[in-house]
Structure 1
Amino acid sequence: MTKKYIIGVDGGSQSSKVVIFDLDGNVISEGKVNLRPMHTPEPGIVEHPDDDLWDSISQASQQAMEAFAGNKEDIIGIGLCTIRFCRCLLKSDGTLAAPALSWMDARVSKPYEHRNDEVSYVTTTSGYITHRLTGEFKDTAANYQGMWPIDTDTWEWSESQKVFDYYNIPRSMLFDLQYPGTILGNVTMEAAKATGFPAGIPVVATANDKAVEALGSGTLSSSKTLISLGTYIAPMVHGQDNPSHTEHFWTNFSAIPNEYLYEGNGIRRGMWTVSWFKNLFGEEFVQHAKNYGMTAEELLNQEAELVPAGSDGLMTVLDWLAPSEEPYKKGMMIGFDGRHSRAHMYRSILEAIALTMKTNVDRMKEELGITIENLVLTGGGSNGNLMMQIFADVFGLQTSRNVVNGSASLGSAISVAVALGVYNSYEAAILAMVQVEETFHPDEEKHAFYHRMNEEVYQHITAYTDGILKKSYALFHES
């Protein structure tokens, strides 16, 4: 029997990744191209330079196709996943009328302002890339969270003129919506030349990047929580309903039609803080690690494994990027004494990530009225065994890491497998394509300690430090 393959596209915030999978979810080849630095000419303006989103995807596609040793004729489809909360302004022919607006751009959190007469369409990153691949003016409904005139109950454009008036985008400027797991169109000859993809194969709708990551991680149960360890660290739980006016989570579209993903409060600059700390030691430390046959992070993990739970009283507060409504917030380490080393500091950052997520997940599950039985960690932060074990110990739960750790690309491939009838359900596709690499079990003694540390001390630090930070903010930010 001829072996078949699926392409999963993951257009992320930092890079574009294209992975070719077989039907069992094994990685056959892949390509990755980093995005260029954002264009930030003034406060509130954050744009992707030139045509960087498409260029990076087409280059990553070429890499993946060049490394693919199979027959191109056996590739059956493409799943497309891109960054959420962005805005693309297109001319009538579907080309960019202006640089794509990042999710960090202040304009995407406000109603659209029509200031450029060249703009004929207002869409998402997935809508724009869909058009580049297929020539169609279609998009997945599941990437329209934020400032869009969409009815999140029906997954259709709103029927209210008041809603359209508020968002200031006429229906004629919006793409046609489709459910995840449906065919948006087929790869054009022009797109095939730019990417190396086979012309004519179907492009399948997925969802926003977090929802596709959740699908690719296999977390479709309300009892299983996904924690995505990236630049922004977020906890997610799958659900069936669309609740509103929630306090400790918000409701996002799922990658499965008419289902939802509940996303708890996260950590801004989460794994970025780990990288920041590692980079403080410079090239000398990198070389020192190489002398032992390790990366700098591997050496830090090895050293931190020898530090007891709780880092001998050293605790980190992860406010390296303050929220806009609380600009006085700052990151801090508190509790130093003569015992503390770089290993203590490093471990305290990892513990802070796990403890903060424990609090956020607890608040979310209590509001939802659910019980969490398992954790799945994805993203670069889950590659370290120490991080995995700390999460297991802090939560007191079985904690798993999958073989395909950047799971958005696999979620894209799963969407294709279901859309094309390779598997008759998402559950069947996950069973066949998502493979667990390793599972970590909690140390009950450490779990009891972390529970007490979090309840009695860690959660309360900012109640005591916010006052002095507000005073210091006023001092250091005087005009």
Structure 2
Amino acid sequence: MSDKYLIGIDSGSQSTKVYIFNQHGEVICSESEGLKPMIARKPGYVEHPEDDLWDCLKAVLKKLMASFQGNPADIVGLGLCSIRCCRVFVKEDGTLAAPVMSWMDIRAYETYEDQPEIRYTSPTSGYLTHRLTGEFRDTAANAYQGQFPVDMDTWQWSENPEHFNSYQIPKEKLMEIRMPGEILGYVTKQAAAETGLPVGIPVVATANDKAVEALGSGLIESDTGLVSLGTYITSMVFGSRNITDAANYWTNLSCIPHNYLYESGGIRRGMWLISWYKSIIGEEYAKKAKEEGCSVEDFLAREAEQVPAGSDGLLTIPDWLAPATQLYRKGVILGFDERHTRGHIYRSLLEGIAMTLKNSYDAMNEELGVKPDKIIVCGGGSNSDLYMQIFADMYGVKTIRNQINGAAALGSAICAAVAAGIYPDFKEAVQAMVKVKDEFTPNAANHETYSKIIAGAYRGLPEMLEGTLKTVYEAMK
């Protein structure tokens, strides 16, 4: 079979990434474009400025199509994945009625208050679908239950009046929803003119961004865990039941219809923490790294690789973005002595993220009664050999890195491949398109060290420091 091409869109919180894949999951070309900084007009408000999500998508698609050397007639589908837990209000003509609320905006989770100028309220995926196709349709699997009255058993809008009415959203202001892998509409002439896409390409439903990332990572069996290293960091395992009464995880709609992901507690501003550290160590250090022909992260990793597991007692709590309801919470680094260097701090930041997530991951799996024997690590952080080894050592199982760690874009393309009939189902598409790059096995001595630190000190550290942080917060008001 001659190559067919699939566009995968990953519209995130900080940037928009787009790829063209062939049916084997091989990258043909890719482009990315940064989003503008978000705006906080009031405490707890976090908005995307102007029409930035659409403007950014238009710009990056134009770049993508300019770099594509194949025949546009062989592009058989576009999978659209965008940020979950945002809230969008649109007018009758499909333009924004208000700035897009980020998932970090407290208003995104408040009860809907109807306004005449609002024709629809939706996640970002519904809004971008309309911009591309002219249709007011969305994926069922990006309708977060805390914001929209979705029935997580039927994957349709709830027919329970009590449940539906609790959201106070008139049904006529909700978009039509479809399953992942189904066509939402086709690229219009106007969208084609603005993006460079060929007219008539099918735009295919995916899911929420974490679920699409899980699909693109190959998480389709319950014996495997997934660590997603992004602006928001979390861990997941795959399942087939909608579990509603969990204490240590929540049930998310999968990118495979009528399957689910169990998702642990996460870390806000997770890998952003590494960007923060890079920004404060100085231009001189960055210049030195450049002279050595490597990135700042690689340069820091060289130093951190010389540091033993546990960072000679330096512990980090990666709480750099407090929830709006718990503003006293702060990130903490403690345990300094004269041995500690820049490499110690860098390793401690990585270890702090991994330890915090492990506490949540273990609690989730213990409640589920599962014990995955391997973990896939995806996201930009998985590019680091050091970090992959830290996860293997800390979690005590084999960790897997795939050839493509921009997994949300690949997951989007997999949905498009299913919709185009290239593969009969998601399982076959994943087997054909997701490929392992390498694996890391645990170091037994390091695993023992990490286990002692977590059990003996780290697991109770946030609670132990809570009173102190509250006192300091009150004093600084």
Determine whether 1:401 maps to 2:401.
yes
* 1:405 partner SS: coil
- Give runs of aligned pairs for residues 140-155 of structure 1, distance below 5 A: 140-145=139-144, 146-155=146-155
For 1:420-475, what per-residue CA distance to the aligned partner results, in whole angstroms no more than 9, with x for missing partners? 21112211111111111121111111111211111112212234322222222221
Confirm whether residue 371 of structure 1 aligns to residue 371 of structure 2: yes
Q: Over residues 272-304 of structure 1, what are the superposed CA-to-partner deviations in whole Å (9 max), with x where a residue is unaligned?
A: 112212221111110111222222111110011
Matches within 5 A, 1:417-428: 417-428=417-428
Q: Percent of counterpart pairs with the same letter? A: 52
Amino acid at match of 2:435: Q
Identify the residue that residue 454 of structure 2 maps to in structure 1.
454
Shift of 1:77: 0.6
Indicate the SS of the match to 2:101: coil
Q: Quote how far apart the aligned CAs of 1:347 are.
A: 0.8
2:350, 2:460 → 1: CA distance? 18
Change (3 A) 1:399 1:283: same
Q: Structure 1 residues 466 and 45 mapped into 2: Cα distance closer, same or farther (>3 Å)?
A: closer
CA distance, structure 2, for counterparts of residue 165 and residue 311 of structure 1: 52
Amino acid of the structure 1 residue aligned with 2:149: P
The DSSP-based 3-state class of the residue aligned with 2:128 is helix
Whole-angstrom distance in 2 between the partners of 1:96 and 1:313? 50
Greater shift after overlay, 99-108 or 178-187? 99-108
For residue 44 of structure 2, what is the aligned residue in structure 1? 44
What CA deviation, in whole Å up to 9, does each residue of 1:24-66 have, x standing for no partner?
1111111211111223222233222221111111111111111
Task: Output the CA distance in 1 between the equivalents of 2:417 and 2:327.
Answer: 45
* Counterpart Cα distance in 2 of 1:103 and 1:238: 23
User: What are the residue-to-residue correspondences of 1:63-462 with 2, within 5 Å?
Assistant: 63-115=63-115, 117-145=116-144, 146-462=146-462
Q: Distance in 2 between matches of 1:40 and 1:446?
A: 42
**Code of the aligned partner of 1:101:** M
Is residue 2:59 matched to residue 1:59? yes
Structure 1 residue 163 displacement after superposition: 3.0
1:294-339 per-residue CA deviation (whole Å, 9 max, x = no partner) reads: 2211111001101111111111111222234433222122211111
Q: Which moved more, 1:453-462 or 1:256-265?
A: 453-462
Partner SS for 1:333? strand
SS of match in other structure, 2:338: coil
- Matched residue type, 1:355: M
What CA deviation, in whole Å up to 9, does each residue of 1:213-270 have, x standing for no partner? Answer: 0000001111111111112110011111111131111111100111111110111221
Where 1:270 maps in the other structure, the secondary structure is coil
Do 2:44 and 2:324's aligned partners in 1 also have CA atoms closer than 8 Å?
Answer: no
CA deviations 1:388-409 (Å, max 9, x no partner) are: 0000000111101111111000
Distance apart, 1:344 and its partner CA = 0.9
| SS class of match (2:48) | coil
For the 8 Å contact 1:31–1:62, the answer to whether it is kept is no
The separation in 2 between residues aligned to 1:364 and 1:255, in whole angstroms, is: 20
Secondary structure of 1:43's match? coil
CA contact (8 A) 2:394 2:451 kept: yes
Q: CA RMSD in A?
A: 1.3
Question: Which letter does structure 1 place at the counterpart of 2:117?
Answer: E
CA distance in 2, matches of 1:45, 1:326: 15
Three-state SS of the structure 2 residue aligned to 1:279 is helix
Query: Hey, what's the Cα distance between the residues in 1 that align with 2:285 and 2:96?
Result: 44
| Conserved? CA contact 1:2–1:74, under 8 Å | no
Give the secondary structure class of the aligned counterpart of 1:162. helix
Alignment gaps of 5+ in structure 1: none
- Name the amino acid aligned to 1:315: L
Task: Indicate the SS of the match to 1:231.
Answer: coil
Task: Report the Cα distance in structure 2 between the residues aligned to 1:362 and 1:282, rounded to whole angstroms.
Answer: 37
SS at match of 2:329: coil
SS at match of 2:275: helix
Contact 2:106–2:324 (8 Å) recurs in 1: no
Task: Tell me the secondary structure at the aligned position of residue 319 of structure 2.
Answer: coil
TM-score normalised by the chain length of structure 1 = 0.97
| One-letter identity of the residue aligned with 1:141 | A
Amino acid at match of 1:138: R
Q: 1:366 to 1:174 in 2, by over 3 A?
A: same
Contact conserved, 1:164 with 1:170, CA < 8 A, in 2? Answer: no
Q: Which moved more, 1:278-287 or 1:36-45?
A: 36-45
Tell me, which stretches of 5 or more residues in structure 2 are unaligned? none
- The CA distance in 1 between the partners of 2:175 and 2:314, in whole Å, is 52
- Corresponding residue pairs, total: 476
Distance in 1 (alpha carbons) for counterparts of 2:431 and 2:87: 35
In the alignment, the residues of structure 2 paired with residue 319 and residue 5 of structure 1 have an alpha-carbon distance, to the nearest angstrom, of: 41
Distance in 1 separating the partners of 2:415 and 2:157: 23
**SS of residue matched to 2:271:** helix
Distance 1:257 1:295 in 2: 40
Question: Partners of 1:345 and 1:40 in 2: how far apart?
Answer: 30
Counterpart contact for 1:187–1:202, Cα < 8 Å: yes
CA contact (8 A) 2:141 2:255 kept: yes
TM-score, with structure 2 as normaliser: 0.97
